[in-house]
């Protein structure tokens, strides 16, 4: 049996190749045949480069249907897709390329100069360009390739993608996800979320992370469902398209921004079947306001780069939890079928219902490990094969999982992860800085944002604005602290450790005054 993920997706749409697969916000229509043919041409281009099976294809391009086709081409040719956030700057990209050693890098034409320099220096053989207006050397070359391609044979545990994530500490690590991890999760969600004939997905998320790339795209493709494709999220456009669609997926910030639009009404949302939220905690206020304004109850689910989706509130009755078909705000629902989830104390004991501890998971969706980091992989798994998520939570008396915090020092801002240790490292390297701490504080739009607290060296003058300006020239924009304070001392405990909880408390009203 072929476990190639593309083969499974294609099986769902091969019966209606001439209907519309994607309609874009620019008014372009792509049929399923277009997806099949273009991904075949791109797969033939990649195969013609004579790169080995398992070679990494690193991609940092603006969102476009062609970028999705490149993802499908990589899958069907048996290579490994490595998506990179478009906000990453040169130092960040250099790290990923040096670490993953991709055989092929695809970037936008505007970035070709600096990206190709980094890539060729790191031993990459091919650098192509792909722009969001269907131009670039990748498509120029692919146009000469055959549109017939035989999908390669893959075992379930063959690697399909690497997603970089920082996990608990240190530099980013590449989570290796297999065809089997991705397909099993997509199949589970197809059933659990009741995907059906006639569903249409509004695709509004970026396609370099789990939510937009896997959950949303696989969901639509595995159901042979049309996507209404947005190059960039625009709340007005989503609301305008609701009468033509049935499913929407977003991080909480997208829901907050739609709620600010007067056009969002019960009438406008009446054709929709399902609103899914995840990647960051959904505030109960947002959950309730959405219910009042649209008559729909958001279905919140929980996942990670390392595991794809882990839990979900029920779409309909779940036979494992009789009488519990409610989507409960403030919870992330039940472990998905096939996922084992338990809560453990620091000393390794499994905790009973209602008690708070570290969330550990096991299942066919859970990754095999971090790219070329066997020691780190070992640390993150228990002896009996459970992955330690770094999330802290409990299972309530009805079986719902509630996330109450994280043991990892991580800020989730507008659905993007920011690792304080990384930002602090950059600040500490600045002239005149003795030390720094970055903490997450509540924010009305992004949920949480970073605030930096900096100590100057004796005799040095440091300005918060200058710290921010320097960071902007070095790091992806979403990682930049929204505010930077220069103070005399950081609060420390008796062991000398910075007490970030006190800083969080001190600045918690900065963006959300009472
Ligand atoms: C943009 N900005 C952010 C930000 N996004 N700041 C903090 N956090 C963010 N997430 C800042 C920029 O730095 C810039 O600041 C200003 O906002 C405008 O930038 P923009 O690019 O025009 O912003 P916008 O298009 O409005 O983007 C906001 C957003 C975007 C919410 C649409 O962040 C987004 O698409 N988030 C979704 C992330 C996602 O898909 N996560 C899934 C991860 S998967 P300045 O100062 O330069 O003007 C995962 C697993 C799971 O976690 O369970 O799903
Ligand atoms: P990432 O590394 O980008 O995959 O981020 C995964 C992390 O996002 C998880 O470990 C959680 O901390 C967080 N997360 C995802 N979904 C939710 C959710 N519904 N509620 C709270 N946190 C979430």
pLDDT in tens, 43-88: 999 999 999 999 999 999 999 999 999 999 999 999 999 999 999 9
462 Cα: distance to centroid of ligand 2 (angstroms): 34
* Closest Cα to atom 26 of ligand 1: 233
Ligand with an atom nearest the CA of residue 408: 2
Domains of the chain: 31-153 (3.40.50.980), 410-507 (3.30.300.30)
Per DSSP (E only), the strands in 259-386 are: 274-277, 299-304, 308-312, 334-335, 340-344, 357-362, 369-370
Please choose from 165, 276, 278, 479 the residue to mutate so as to test ligand 2's pocket, defined by most ligand atoms within 8 A of CB.
278
Is residue 24 within 8 Å of 226, Cβ to Cβ?
no
- Return the pLDDT at 167: 53
Nearest protein Cα to ligand 2, atom 15: 279
DSSP state of 66: H
CA-based nearest residue to 209, from 184, 177, 238: 177
Its sign, for the CA torsion 167, 172, 173, 176, is positive
* Alpha helix ranges (H) inside 354-414: 374-380
Give yes or no for residue 303 CB within 6 A of ligand 1.
Answer: yes
3-state secondary structure of 29: strand
**Any ligand 1 atom below 6 A from CB of 251:** yes
Whole-angstrom distance, CA of residue 404 vs CA of residue 357: 9
Q: Tell the residue nearest (CA) to atom 20 of ligand 2.
A: 281
Residue 506: its pLDDT value, please?
A: 97
- Other beta carbons within 10 angstroms of residue 206's beta carbon come to 20
pLDDT beneath 70, residues of the chain: 167-170
* 165, 235, 478, best to mutate for ligand 1 pocket (most atoms within 8 Å of CB): 478
In short, whether 280's Cβ falls inside 6 Å of ligand 2 is: yes
Q: 450 in ligand 1 pocket by Cβ < 6 Å?
A: no
Closest atom of ligand 2 to CA, residue 406: 12
Q: Does ligand 2 lie within 6 Å of residue 278's CB atom?
A: yes
Determine the Cα–Cα distance for residues 91 and 93; give it in Å rounded to an integer.
6
Tell me if 216 sits within 8 A of 63, measured CB to CB: no
């Amino acid at each position: 049996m072929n476990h190639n993920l593309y083969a499974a997706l294609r099986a769902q749409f091969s019966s209606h190749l001439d209907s519309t697969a994607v309609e874009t916000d620019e008014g372009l229509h792509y049929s399923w045949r277009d997806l099949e043919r273009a991904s075949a041409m791109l797969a033939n281009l990649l195969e013609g480069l004579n790169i080995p099976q398992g070679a990494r294809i690193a991609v940092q391009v603006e969102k476009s249907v062609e970028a999705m086709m490149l993802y499908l081409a990589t899958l069907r040719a048996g290579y490994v897709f490595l998506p990179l956030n478009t906000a990453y700057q040169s130092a960040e990209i250099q790290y990923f390329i040096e670490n993953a050693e991709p055989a092929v890098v695809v970037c936008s034409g505007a970035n070709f100069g600096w990206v190709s320099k980094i890539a060729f220096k790191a031993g990459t053989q091919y650098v192509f360009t792909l722009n969001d207006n269907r131009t670039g050397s990748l498509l120029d070359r692919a146009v000469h390739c055959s549109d017939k391609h035989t999908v390669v044979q893959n075992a379930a545990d063959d690697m399909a993608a690497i997603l970089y994530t920082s996990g608990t500490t240190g530099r980013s690590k590449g989570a290796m996800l297999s065809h089997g991890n991705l397909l099993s999760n997509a199949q589970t969600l197809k059933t659990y979320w009741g995907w059906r004939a006639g569903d249409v997905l509004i695709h509004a998320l970026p396609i370099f992370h789990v939510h937009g790339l896997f959950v949303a795209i696989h969901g639509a493709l595995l159901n042979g469902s049309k996507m209404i494709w947005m190059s960039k999220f625009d709340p007005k456009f989503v609301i305008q398209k609701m009468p033509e669609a049935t499913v929407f997926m977003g991080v909480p910030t997208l829901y907050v921004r739609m709620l600010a639009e007067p056009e969002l009404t019960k009438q406008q949302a009446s054709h929709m079947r399902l609103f899914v939220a995840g990647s960051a905690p959904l505030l109960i206020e947002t959950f309730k306001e959405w219910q009042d304004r649209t008559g729909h109850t958001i279905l919140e689910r929980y996942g990670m780069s390392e595991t794809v989706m882990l839990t979900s509130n029920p779409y309909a009755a779940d036979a494992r939890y009789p009488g519990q078909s409610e989507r409960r705000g403030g919870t992330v629902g039940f472990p998905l079928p096939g996922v084992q989830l338990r809560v453990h104390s620091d000393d390794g004991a499994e905790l009973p219902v209602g008690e708070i501890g570290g969330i550990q998971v096991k299942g066919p969706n859970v990754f095999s490990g971090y790219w070329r980091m066997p020691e780190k992989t070992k640390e993150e798994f228990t002896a009996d094969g459970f992955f330690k998520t770094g999330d802290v939570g409990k299972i309530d008396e009805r079986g719902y999982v509630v996330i109450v915090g994280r043991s990892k020092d991580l800020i989730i801002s507008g659905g993007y992860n920011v690792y304080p240790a990384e930002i602090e490292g950059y600040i500490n390297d600045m002239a005149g800085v003795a030390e720094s701490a970055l903490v997450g504080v509540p924010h009305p739009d992004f949920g949480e944002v970073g605030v930096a607290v900096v100590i100057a060296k004796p005799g040095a003058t440091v300005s918060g604005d200058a710290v921010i300006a320097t960071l902007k020239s070095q790091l992806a924009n979403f990682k930049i602290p929204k505010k930077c304070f220069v103070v005399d001392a950081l609060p420390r405990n008796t062991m000398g450790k910075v007490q970030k909880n006190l800083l969080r408390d001190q600045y918690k009203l900065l963006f959300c005054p009472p």
